[in-house]
Structure 1
Amino acid sequence: MANRGSPLPPPGRWRREAAVVAAAFLICLLGGVLHVDGTVAPPLPPAYLIAAVSSAMLLARHRAPVATTMATAVCGVLVAPLGLLPNPLIVAPAVISAYSLAVRRDRWVAVAVLVPSVVLLVALLPFVEADFSWEDASRLVVVAASPLVAAAFGRSTRHRRAYLAVVEERARRAEESRDRQARQKVAEERVRIARELHDLVAHQITLANAQATVAAHFFDSNPEQTRTSLAELVRTTRNALDELRATVGLLRQPDDAAEPTGPAPELAQVPALLESFRRAGLAVSMHEDGTARPLPPAVDLTAYRIIQEALTNVTKHAPTGSAQVRLAWHRDHVAVTVTDDGGGSRTQPERPPGYGLIGLRERATAVGGTLTAGARAQGGFVVAARLPLPAAENTARRTDGATTSEGG
């Protein structure tokens, strides 16, 4: 594509412009064979000159459409003294330049140039003959209206191009919006998988480490306990491999075909989760207050992961061997609280801070809840989450009174 400031147009445009000029010249000459007396004869030599000049002016219609329109209109008026019959063919260059003017300029510019040109044309042509008739008048109206009709088509073309430009811009923006949404979905899915992998690996590896520590501690003094701990270690690592294989399998699924290969964890599985921690040496108890109700799958999974990650952190970081889990069911939310009575910092000095609590906050926020975590004034650490509940009238599962279960 040539630069706009280049003095020479590209070859394709030269050919197009030459074709327009040649066509205008031939049409103008064709109109020049009709004389006022009704005869058909070859154009007069001045007609050739006027046709050539007015057609050549069309080469400037892109850079100077206003001047070109005025000049071609004047040339159209000059054919009147030659004794030629006024007809739209003679003013073909003026028609073409009027079209170009309307395409490239605003409406007021087109009106400011076309109206005087038409008035000038209509004012001069009646002097061709003294006995000016109604037939001549209708012919002059057609000639005068030709540039206006061309300008109307030019305006229509301008509007159509503007409409197509708007449609293309909207399509481009829609494509960019789809790309942004796709990238956002990919980022959200990446974060979701990262959270799942973190919760899975942190929980299972922590249990495996605790079981291996117990086995090493009782290796000489209590072989039976060692065998039990090793059996638990084998089961824990097997479960870790199964869950890791299922999670990684999601990454191998094409696009939207990715579906979980097994049921997602839920609060109903919390007793089994607590039992796994007890086997690893953590004395954990659970208290449930209020009337339990079924949760949406996302909220159910979030509640389970909060309990799992909080207890995993207790096992990894807290200098204590006990923890408490509490579920409090309210009218519009369920409160999940995990506390321990250990002292000191939760994160060991040689370990950099992890992403567990960050992931839990993201999970709680994603389902419309909140999560806070920090040290307690009386010692230890607390993780407290508030997760929304569906309306009570929409639930079917009810339990009578508060239930309390103690682990030991």
Structure 2
Amino acid sequence: MSTFQRARCRVTAHPFALDTAIAVGALVCMVVGSFADPGGEHGVNWGVRTPDPLSLVLMTLGAAALVFRRSAPRSVLAVTGTATLVESITGDPRAPVAMCVVIALCTVAATTDRATTWRVGLLAMTVLTGAAMLAGPLPWYAQENLAIIAWTGIGATAGDAIRSRRAVVRAIRERAERAERTREEEARRRVAEERLRIARDLHDVVAHHIALVNVQAGVAAHVMDKRPDQAKEALAHVREASRSALNELRATVGLLRQTGDPEAPTEPAPGLSRLDELAGTFRNAGLPVEVAHAEHAGTLPAAVDLVAYRIIQEALTNVQKHAGPDAKAEVSVVRVGPLVEVTVLDDGATADGATTAGGGHGLLGMRERVTALGGSLTTGPRYGGGFRVHAILPVKTRTAATGEPA
């Protein structure tokens, strides 16, 4: 911080001291000016004159009033204006008492609006100039009388300029603070969205693979004694599902640990190209799954492809957990013009438990993913038993166009 800035901070912190200094400076200037005679003897050069005692009293009164100009600007203007008016009528018209009015008028203009400045300035100018011209000892056209118009105009203009500058600085500061708040809110919003996205991904990965591990582990425990070969096969599926879960978790955590934005994922994001593989994992867990996947629906934007995959994954996971041991599932992916329809059906007798069991977030996560793409999701029990998940995804979306993850 420079010396000027430090001095300005000190002055701003003590406004009464600043007003006192201004008042003392104005009094010194007025007293010195009252002794100066512009014409001198015979109207040549400068001379010295003796001011009237009344002029000195009025100067002191006007300067003392300036000490309170910040707390009561209009009252100070009235006091200094009265002193100047008395001086113009009864005293030496050349005494510079009008300096107090100029400072007080500048303060009023700096602390009010422009309309008030015009009214107060014109009133002070008219009253002081009219009194000096009509009741003063000098002729009405004397330069001392005309100077009052100029000085009051300068005071009002200077005060208005100060007020305008303060308004501009205040507006700039408010815009800067508003922009800072907006940046902070945007940062918090992005963090919340990213946390929600990570939570959805982790839920999809963990729920799917842990459900498969749970089923296969139950099968292995049931047939361990009577059918060891089948138990070994079930344990192999458990190992494969756990390895897949660990790989996906490792990839997700690896992306989170990077300090900057990754240029590309270490592995391709799952999509409908892995739909048969996904269905196979559920078949190995004992859930019959039929897949109807049109060939022309395979080329989709990455965001839409990922959301379709996650919807099917979560829906089949819910069937595995809630639909019962004899349930069957049907998966259909059809592209109709600019839309992709994803449908997952099951015939489980207790499939409606997927909406309430355990208070999970599966259906909520699916709905959030679909909404983020601008699509629609319908879930509910089927007539005659079972559960239905139906999603309509637009192919051309803002998210897909920018390549952002859903």
**Which category describes the TM-score, using the shorter chain as reference length?**
0.7 to 0.9
**Correspondence 1:165-180 to 2 at 5 A:** 165-180=170-185
Classify the secondary structure of the residue corresponding to 1:98: helix
Report the equivalent of 1:398: none
The Cα shift of 1:243 comes to: 1.2
The Cα shift of 1:290 comes to: 7.0
**Correspondence 1:9-408 to 2 at 5 A:** 12-35=14-37, 37-38=39-40, 39-80=47-88, 81-83=90-92, 85=94, 89-126=96-133, 132=139, 136-137=142-143, 139-254=144-259, 256=261, 260-289=265-294, 291-292=296-297, 294-319=299-324, 320-347=326-353, 351-390=357-396
Once residues 132 and 241 of structure 2 are traced to their aligned partners in structure 1, the CA distance between those partners, rounded to angstroms, is 104
Once residues 165 and 344 of structure 2 are traced to their aligned partners in structure 1, the CA distance between those partners, rounded to angstroms, is 66
The Cα shift of 1:92 comes to: 1.5
- Which structure has greater helix proportion? 2
Name the stretch that deviates more: 226-235 or 324-333: 226-235
Query: Residues 136-164 of structure 1: CA distance to partner in whole angstroms, max 9, x if unpaired?
Result: 33x43233211221111111111222222
Amino acid aligned to 2:53:
P
Answer whether contact 1:36 1:84 (CA < 8 A) is retained: no
- RMSD between aligned alpha carbons? 2.7
The Cα shift of 1:181 comes to: 2.0
Once residues 13 and 32 of structure 1 are traced to their aligned partners in structure 2, the CA distance between those partners, rounded to angstroms, is 28
Query: Residues 187-218 of structure 1: CA distance to partner in whole angstroms, max 9, x if unpaired?
Result: 11111111111100110101111221222233
Distance change >3 Å, CA 175–CA 249, structure 1 → 2: same
Answer whether contact 2:271 2:308 (CA < 8 A) is retained: yes
The Cα shift of 1:303 comes to: 0.2
The Cα shift of 1:361 comes to: 0.9
Query: Residues 261-316 of structure 1: CA distance to partner in whole angstroms, max 9, x if unpaired?
Result: 42211111111111111111221111124732521211110000011111111111
Once residues 54 and 258 of structure 2 are traced to their aligned partners in structure 1, the CA distance between those partners, rounded to angstroms, is 81
Answer whether contact 2:378 2:390 (CA < 8 A) is retained: yes
State the TM-score, normalized to the length of structure 2: 0.84
The Cα shift of 1:166 comes to: 2.5
Report the equivalent of 1:396: none
Amino acid aligned to 1:104:
T
Q: How many residues are treated as equivalent by the alignment?
A: 377
Task: State percent identity of aligned pairs.
Answer: 39
Distance change >3 Å, CA 11–CA 287, structure 1 → 2: closer
Residue segments in structure 1 that go unaligned for 5+ positions in a row: 1-9, 392-408
Amino acid aligned to 2:342:
V
Once residues 366 and 284 of structure 1 are traced to their aligned partners in structure 2, the CA distance between those partners, rounded to angstroms, is 28
Residue segments in structure 2 that go unaligned for 5+ positions in a row: 1-11, 41-46, 398-406
Report the equivalent of 1:4: none
Name the stretch that deviates more: 172-181 or 264-273: 172-181
Distance change >3 Å, CA 45–CA 98, structure 1 → 2: same
State the TM-score, normalized to the length of structure 1: 0.84
